[in-house]
Amino acid sequence: MGRVEGLSDVKGRSQVAPITVWTIAFNLLAIAAVLLIIYRTRQVGWWILVAACLSLALDPVVSWLTRRGMPRFLAVTAVLLSALALLALMFATVVPVLVDQGRNLIASGPHLLERLRDSAFIQRMDVRFDLIDRAKQVVNGQAAGAAAPLFAFVQDVFAGVVGTITVAALTVFMLLFGGRVFAAALQWVAPSDRPRYVGLAENIRGAVGGYVGGALIIALIGGMVTTVATALLGVPYYLPLGLMMAVLGIIPYVGSVLGGALVVTATFLTSGLKSGIIALVVFVAYQQVENHVLQPVVQRKTIRMSPLVIAVVMLIGTALWGLMGALLSLPMAGAIQVLLEDRLARRQASWGIVPEARPDKAEAAPTSGEAKEPLARPARG
């Protein structure tokens, strides 16, 4: 009888200790606090990600200079001064003409819309939906509501200047001290695991940095081709169109197509049907060269992804974070892909399966000796 009563007491008691309840509650509060901090500092987080991508893209140039005997501080300074000199040259030569052409383009917006009436298709759509008049209202705008957009534009410009300065400073600091921070972090890892983490860091640096640098080069080439082609075709707004093509070309796959469509449309409206057809032929030809020559040559050592994965990543990144997500989703996916490949290789090794080497791995990844020496060195000062 006493035994039965003892069992009843045990069954009636709660099986969850109070310390477990408090531990779970504390963990949930900690997770909520971390998520809140990430949300509140999301702008700073984007700046850090952009600076990381830029530093990874510039690191090969800095490393090339350091291998030739230049101290790292001087190498970073030389790269920074070169970038500033290019920006100053662009502002001194291109921006005044760009502003003048952009002002003329905006002023001639209603006239360009009038030329659309010559198209039979546009005429039918205008009769049905009153497209031209609505477009004119958008272009001309309303004087009463002009102050608020202007104030918002000034705010955006100020935020852009602050963000640019912050990103530039973070990029310099990452180029100068990123290796030391990584080497210090490696001291918390078991010595037997350090070569693996060094290899992962090198692969991520190669994938992300190479992709960002290659994307910038390809976008610059696209902008130059657009500027030259539209200038030869007599389009009066060749500099804004070339700059727009270069900016949109940074967005993978989608940006160049959208930019090309806008360039062809602008050429058709400003220089006539013949020039528009020539611009279309030039754009299609350049797209073939970019897809089959520039992309394989420039990006052959960087991200290797299925087109389906690229499309899904781009859609999710754009839906979640807008333009910034479209720009950074593929570099982030490339870093995640490196980590997943390492995890898959370890699991296959535990199953007794020999992992298949990627075709570009032998030339893209450095040897363990090359990676270990600069990154695993203890931090000083």
Tens of pLDDT, residues 98-131:
666 666 666 666 666 666 666 666 666 666 666 6
pLDDT tens digits, residue range 243-259? 888 888 877 767 788 88
Q: Is residue 309's pLDDT more than 70? A: yes
Q: Are 222 and 290 in contact (CB under 8 A)?
A: yes
* Token duo for residue 43: 């702008």
Q: What is the mean pLDDT of the chain?
A: 75
Half-sphere exposure of 173 (CA within 13 A, CB side): 9
Joined together, the tokens standing for residue 175 give 């180029």
Q: Cite the DSSP H helix spans in the chain.
A: 2-12, 18-40, 42-67, 72-93, 95-107, 109-115, 120-129, 131-140, 147-186, 194-204, 210-232, 238-249, 254-271, 273-289, 295-298, 307-350, 361-364, 368-375
The single-letter code of the amino acid at 128 is: R
Supply the pLDDT for residue 154: 61
Which tens digits make up the pLDDT trace of 184-238? 888 898 888 888 888 888 888 888 887 888 888 888 888 899 889 988 988 877 8
Residue 51 and residue 174: Cα distance in Å, rounded? Answer: 8
CA 359, CA 203: separation in Å to the nearest integer?
A: 14
3-class DSSP state for residue 310?
helix
What whole-number distance in Å separates Cα of residue 216 and Cα of residue 304? Answer: 18
What are the b/e assignments for 331-363, b being 16+ CB within 10 Å? bbbbbebbeebbeeeeeeeeeeeeeeeeeeeee
CA atoms within 13 A on the CB side of 132: 18
Per-residue confidence band for 241, with pLDDT thresholds at 50, 70 and 90:
confident
pLDDT digits (tens, 9 = 90+) for 133-187: 666 665 555 444 444 555 565 666 677 777 888 888 888 898 888 888 888 888 8
Pairwise pLDDT comparison (378 vs 220), residue with the higher score: 220
| Nearest of 334, 328, 351 to residue 45 by alpha carbon | 328
Two structure tokens written together for 330: 């593929």
Q: Say what the pLDDT of residue 123 is.
A: 65
Q: Which pLDDT does position 365 carry in this prediction?
A: 41
Q: Which residue has the tokens 């602050």?
A: 162
Residue 72 has pLDDT above 60, yes or no: yes
Residue 23 pLDDT level (bands cut at 50, 70, 90): confident
Nearest to 46 by CA among 322, 345, 357, 369: 322
Chain CA centroid to CA 91, Å: 23
Q: What is the pLDDT of residue 96?
A: 67
- Neighbouring C-beta atoms of residue 273, cutoff 10 Å: 10
In this predicted structure, what is the pLDDT of residue 381?
Answer: 37
- In angstroms, rounded to a whole number, what is the distance separating the alpha carbons of residues 133 and 62? 55
Q: Are 375 and 201 in contact (CB under 8 A)?
A: yes
Q: Is the pLDDT of residue 242 over 60?
A: yes
Alpha-carbon distance 276 to 210, whole Å?
A: 35
Range 352-362 average pLDDT? 60
Percent of the chain with pLDDT over 90: 1
Name, of 132-141, 265-274, 362-371, the range with top average pLDDT: 265-274
Q: How far is CA 272 from CA 43, 269, 278, 279, 315, in A?
A: 44, 6, 10, 11, 35
What per-residue confidence (pLDDT) applies to 144?
A: 45
CA gap 47, 211 in Å, rounded: 18
